Homo-oligomer: A and B are copies of this chain.
Amino acid sequence: MIRVCVDAMGGDEPPEVVLEGIAKALKDHADVEVLVAGDASVVEPFCAKHERAKALVTTEAIGMDEHPADAIRAKRDSSIVRGCEAIRAGEADAFFSAGNTGAVLAAATLKVGRIHGVTRPALMTPIPGLDGHRTVTLDLGANADCKPEMLVQFAQMGSAFAHTVMGVEHPRCALMSNGTEATKGSAQVLEFHALLEEHNGEGYDFAGNCEGVDLLLGNYDVIVADGFTGNVALKTLEGTAKYMVKRIKAAVAKSPRAALGALLLKPALGEVARDLSGDETGGAVLLGCKAPVFIGHGATSANAVYHGILAAKRAVEGGLVERIANSCAAQEQE
Contacts and interface: CB of A to CB of B under 8 A. Distances in A.
Given A178-B228, A232-B229, A263-B261, A185 B237 contact: no
A251 B237 CA distance: 20
Interface stretch (A42-50, A87-95, A213-221): A213-221
A237 B212 contact: yes
A248 interface: yes
B258 A264 contact: yes
Contacts of A225: 232
Interface in A244-278: 244, 246-248, 250-252, 255, 257-258, 260-269, 271-272
Given A217-B243, A264-B261, A233 B236 contact: yes
Interface residues of A, number: 61
A268 B239 contact: no
Given A130-B247, A215-B236, A237-B212, A264 B269 contact: no
A212 B235 CA distance: 5
A31 interface: no
Q: How many chain copies does the complex carry?
A: 2
A212 B231 CA distance: 8
A10 interface: no
A213 B186 contact: no
Nearest to A273: B244
In this complex, the member of A129, A130, A217, A232 whose beta carbon has the largest number of chain B beta carbons within 10 angstroms is: A232
A39 interface: no
A266 B265 CA distance: 11
Given A129-B243, A251-B265, A258-B264, A178 B231 contact: yes
A264 B268 contact: no
A144 B240 contact: no
Interface string A110-138: 00000000000000000001100000000
Given A212-B239, A217-B239, A228-B185, A248 B272 contact: yes
A30 interface: no
Contact of A141 (B178, B234, B238): B178
A226 interface: yes
A216 B265 CA distance: 23
A188 to B, nearest CB: 8
Contacts of A213: 235-236, 238-239, 242
A178 B264 contact: no
B250 A260 contact: no
A189 B216 CA distance: 27
11 contacts: A144-B187, A145-B187, A177-B228, A186-B226, A212-B231, A215-B236, A217-B243, A240-B240, A240-B244, A248-B269, A265-B265
